Amino acid sequence: MKNCTAFFFFFLSVFLLIIPFSVGGKIYKWVDEKGVVHYSDHAPESIDTIKGAIEERDLLETSPESGEAASPSKLSAPTPIARAVNCTFTIKGAKKVGTGFLISPNGYAVTCKHVVEEPSSYSALLNDKTEYSLTVLSVSPRQDLAVVQVPVPQKGSHLSLRDASTLSPGERLFAIGASAGLQATVTDGVFTGIRRMPETEEEVIQFSAPVNPGNSGGPLVDEKGQVVGVVSMRFDSLKGVPINGVGFAVPSSRLLEEYGHLIEK
C-alpha cells in the first residue's frame, strides 16, 4: 500500500481482535476515533477510543426452508463475509506483508503485482494458522495483479466474482486483508464509483472502506461475499491535507481479462 504515513502506526498500538470464523454466538461492531470499523466476538475492553455506540448482533442465518432464524447448532455454513474471510490469507515476504484470496479449489489465488514482484521467498498464512510456501505463477504486464498458488492439501472453498459495473453508488462493500499486519481484518464502507486514473488511464473502483498497508491484494466483496475488485491502493493526502476513506481496487472485469482461464466458475 502506497504512501504509508505515521497515521498507520497508531493502529499497531491499538488492541484489535481478529474477526471470528465460527458461526453462532455474538459479534460486536464499533467505530474507533479514526473512523475504522472493527468486528470481534468480544466487546472492546476500552471505550475511550470508540466513536458512537457498540453494535451487538447475533450470528444467526435464515433457514431457506422455514424463513426463520436457524439456531447456531444447525448452521452448516458461515455467513458470506465470514466465508470470504476464510478464503483470504496473509502473504509474508522478506520486506512486506500483503493479502491474497483463493479463486479455485486447487489453490490458485490472486493478489496485487506490487505485493510479490520483488525477488523474494513468499509464504501464505491461512486463517487456520497453517503456513505454506507460495509460488508466484504470473504477474500481469498491464494491471496491478498477480496469480499465485498455495499448495493446499485438499480442495477447498474459493471466492466467486461479480461484475463491478453492476454496483450502485452507496452499495455496501467490505475490504478484507492483513490491515497494518493484522490478519483477516474486515472493514466496511460503500461503493463510490468507477474512476479513471490520470497516470495510467486505467479504470479503478473507488470505495470508502478504510484500508491500510497489508490490505494490498485482498478482496473487495459485496454483502454476498462476491469479489468486485482487488484492493490496490489508497490516497493518504492531497497537497499535504490528510485524506481518509478513499481506497481503490482493480475491477473484477480486469481480473477476468487477465486470468479468467484459472478462475473456477
- The reply to whether 149 and 87 lie within a common domain is yes
User: Which grid coordinates are listed for 216?
Assistant: 494490498
Instruction: Choose the final residue of a domain: 158, 173, 195.
Output: 158
- The reply to whether 198 and 244 lie within a common domain is yes
Task: Assess whether 38 carries a catalytic annotation.
Answer: no
Q: Does a structural domain hold residue 134?
A: yes
Task: Assess whether 144 carries a catalytic annotation.
Answer: yes
- The reply to whether 171 and 245 lie within a common domain is yes
- The reply to whether 143 and 172 lie within a common domain is no
User: For position 61, what pLDDT does the model report?
Assistant: 38
Among candidate residues 104, 208, 216, 232, the one labeled active-site is 216
- The reply to whether 239 and 181 lie within a common domain is yes
Q: Which domain range does residue 204 map to?
A: 164-252
- The reply to whether 179 and 148 lie within a common domain is no
Q: Does a structural domain hold residue 125?
A: yes
User: For position 104, what pLDDT does the model report?
Assistant: 93
Supply the CATH number for residue 231's domain: 2.40.10.10
**Ramachandran region of residue 235, left (φ > 0), alpha (ψ -120 to 50) or beta?**
beta
Q: DSSP letter at 261? A: G
- The reply to whether 52 and 91 lie within a common domain is no
User: For position 7, what pLDDT does the model report?
Assistant: 36
- The reply to whether 149 and 171 lie within a common domain is no
For the beta carbon of residue 127, count every other beta carbon within 10 angstroms. 17
Instruction: Choose the final residue of a domain: 25, 60, 95.
Output: 60
Note whether 95 and 116 are within 8 A (CB): no
Q: Is 214 helix (H, G, I), strand (E, B) or coil?
A: coil
- The reply to whether 55 and 135 lie within a common domain is no
- The reply to whether 52 and 110 lie within a common domain is no
User: Which grid coordinates are listed for 139?
Assistant: 504477474
CA-CA-CA-CA torsion sign (51, 56, 61, 62): negative
Going by C-beta distance under 8 Å and a sequence separation of 6 or more, which residues neighbour residue 238? none
User: For position 49, what pLDDT does the model report?
Assistant: 67
CA-to-CA separations, 166 to 144, 226, 251, in angstroms, rounded: 22, 12, 11
Q: Does a structural domain hold residue 73?
A: no
Q: Does a structural domain hold residue 66?
A: no
- The reply to whether 53 and 120 lie within a common domain is no
- The reply to whether 106 and 128 lie within a common domain is yes
Q: Does a structural domain hold residue 144?
A: yes
State which residues of the chain have pLDDT below 70. Answer: 1-30, 32-43, 45-49, 51, 56-77, 235-243, 264-265
Q: Does a structural domain hold residue 226?
A: yes
Domain count of the chain? Answer: 3
Among candidate residues 114, 179, 208, 222, the one labeled active-site is 114
Note whether 100 and 148 are within 8 A (CB): yes
Among candidate residues 32, 144, 188, 222, the one labeled active-site is 144
- Give the span between the Cα atoms of 70 and 149, in whole angstroms: 36
Q: Does a structural domain hold residue 68?
A: no
User: For position 73, what pLDDT does the model report?
Assistant: 31
Chain centre distance of CA 264: 19
User: For position 175, what pLDDT does the model report?
Assistant: 97
Instruction: Choose the final residue of a domain: 136, 158, 180.
Output: 158
Q: Does a structural domain hold residue 3?
A: no
pLDDT digits (tens, 9 = 90+) for 161-211: 999 999 999 999 999 999 999 999 999 999 999 999 877 778 999 999 999
Per DSSP (E only), the strands in the chain are 26-32, 37-40, 50-58, 88-92, 97-102, 108-111, 122-125, 131-139, 146-149, 172-179, 182-196, 203-207, 219-221, 227-234, 237-238, 241-242, 247-251
Each as own residue / partner, the long-range contacts of residues 39-42 (CB below 8 Å, 24 or more positions apart, any chain) are: 39/186, 40/16, 41/17, 42/17
Task: Assess whether 41 carries a catalytic annotation.
Answer: no
